[in-house]
Structure 1
Amino acid sequence: MKVDPAVQARLLDLAETDAELGRIEHRRRNLPELEALSELETTLRERRDAVIKAETALSDLDADAARQEKDIDSVRAREERDRKLLDSGLPGKQQTDLEHELETLHRRQSALEDDLLELMERREAVEADVKHSQAQLTVTEDEISKANERRDTALEELDTKHARRTEDREQLLGELPAELVTLYEKVRAQRGTGAAMLRAKRCGACRLELDRSALAELRDAAADQVCRCEECGAILVRTKESGL
């Protein structure tokens, strides 16, 4: 293929544009903002779980306390009934049995009230855990909101750069012969880099130094001949820096 050397040199601009587009895509996939957001989302899930766990524990304690209060009310009602019976006057043995039952009920009520007090103390601690967990969750939600803004800003900047470089690429493609573009795109699809400068006897794509026979062929080739690297297949653009 024969192409004016100046036109071939434009392939270097195209290759650099494609390399820049590749760097933009790589940065898009590896944004620090994305990694930070992922870590925050993990923290968010953990803190939501912590809130649910604390709220569940608080709900269980409330249920236990309600049952305990119901038992206390039941004991009090039984005690009140027994005292009324006792005050009504009963035969000796029944009165003795009733007094014994009242003592038992009193001990039962005292034990239940102690248990209830312990439950309420535990509830106070768990309620503090709920408030702490909810506060931490709120902090993380705020951090995620800010992280989303940073991510969106970074992506917007990358989109702007990508659009600008894509426009540059389309312009370059319009300035190059279709046959040369077809070859370039084919090589780029296969090798990753479609064209590179030959500098100091070394291919700019694979970074390998060409041997003497390859250099001799390049030296003898016409200036407008489109040449390829024998190692990686990239189109080699020859300049005064090629060392031929």
Structure 2
Amino acid sequence: MNAAPADQLRLLDVQALDVRLSQLDHRRSALPEHAELEAHARDLAQLRDLLVAAQTEESDTAREQTKAEQDVDQVRTRAARDQQRLDSGAVTSPKDLENLQREIASLARRQSDLEDVVLDVMERRESAQGRVAELTERLAAVQAASDQAAARRDEATAGIDTEIADVRREREAVAASVPADLLKLYEKLREQQDGVGAARLYQRRCEGCQLELNITELNDVRAAAPDAVVRCENCRRILVRTAESGL
């Protein structure tokens, strides 16, 4: 393949712009905010799970407290009714009086036990409520930090995207001035060679693979016509000659 030396030099400009685009893409994907947002997402998921568990516990203890208080009220009501019967004098049989007094004492013990249950449930409910409040506050703080990180990421991304758009426009303009067959070969090699399809020959060294050409390779390059498109024998990239090639 042949191409004017000026066209080959412009190919180096295309390559430089492609390298710049790769750098910008990497910078965009490597923004520290990405990792920060991932960490926040993990923390938020964990906190939400803990909050749901705490809210469930609070709801369960609330129902348990209501049931325990109802049990206390039932025992208290029954005890009050029995006490009223006892105080009214309506029960005259010694045996019935003894049974009634025994039941009142049993109800008093039962009421005391149930009131202890209510206190225990209330303590557990208050603990769950405190946990809900704490987790809600922590969740809000992490969400705020995540929102701030997202805003920083979006701002940085927008700046990089603007720069990428500018470089792409410049790349399109330069690439349009390169012969189609030369550009096609370059694009093919760039896909095969980690994004570098053309390299400068500088001081007898290929800047693509960073290997120095041996004497035979140098002689072949020297003998090639100025418009010949030469390739590096080591990496097979297009080797562009300049005044600093050391030939």
Q: TM-score, normalised by structure 1?
A: 0.95
Tell whether 2:95 aligns with 1:96.
no
User: 1:124 matched to which residue of 2?
Assistant: 126
User: 1:107 matched to which residue of 2?
Assistant: 109
Deviation per CA, 1:186-213, whole angstroms, max 9, x where unpaired? 2112223111101122111111222221
Q: How far does residue 175 in structure 1 lie from its aligned partner after superposition?
A: 1.2
Task: Give the counterpart of 1:224 among 220, 227, 232.
Answer: 227
SS in 1 for 2:201: strand
Cα distance in 2 between the residues matched to 1:162 and 1:230: 33
Q: How far does residue 159 in structure 1 lie from its aligned partner after superposition?
A: 0.9
Cα distance in 1 between the residues matched to 2:93 and 2:211: 117
Q: How far does residue 241 in structure 1 lie from its aligned partner after superposition?
A: 1.9
CA contact (8 A) 2:201 2:245 kept: yes
Which runs of 5 or more structure 1 residues have no equivalent in the other structure?
Answer: none
User: 1:203 matched to which residue of 2?
Assistant: 206
SS in 2 for 1:57: helix
Counterpart AA for 1:221? A
Deviation per CA, 1:206-226, whole angstroms, max 9, x where unpaired? 112222211110111122211
Question: What does 1:1-244 correspond to in 2, within 5 Å?
Answer: 1-87=1-87, 88-191=90-193, 192-244=195-247
Cα distance in 2 between the residues matched to 1:116 and 1:194: 79
Q: How far does residue 122 in structure 1 lie from its aligned partner after superposition?
A: 2.2
Q: How far does residue 15 in structure 1 lie from its aligned partner after superposition?
A: 0.4
Cα distance in 2 between the residues matched to 1:90 and 1:27: 96
Cα distance in 2 between the residues matched to 1:187 and 1:125: 67
Cα distance in 1 between the residues matched to 2:150 and 2:76: 59
SS in 1 for 2:176: helix
Counterpart AA for 2:99? D
Give the root-mean-square deviation of aligned CA atoms: 1.3
Cα distance in 2 between the residues matched to 1:182 and 1:28: 28
Cα distance in 1 between the residues matched to 2:211 and 2:114: 87
Which runs of 5 or more structure 2 residues have no equivalent in the other structure?
Answer: none
SS in 1 for 2:144: helix
Cα distance in 2 between the residues matched to 1:186 and 1:195: 11
Q: Percent identity?
A: 42
Cα distance in 2 between the residues matched to 1:190 and 1:144: 39
Counterpart AA for 1:10? R
Cα distance in 2 between the residues matched to 1:42 and 1:52: 16
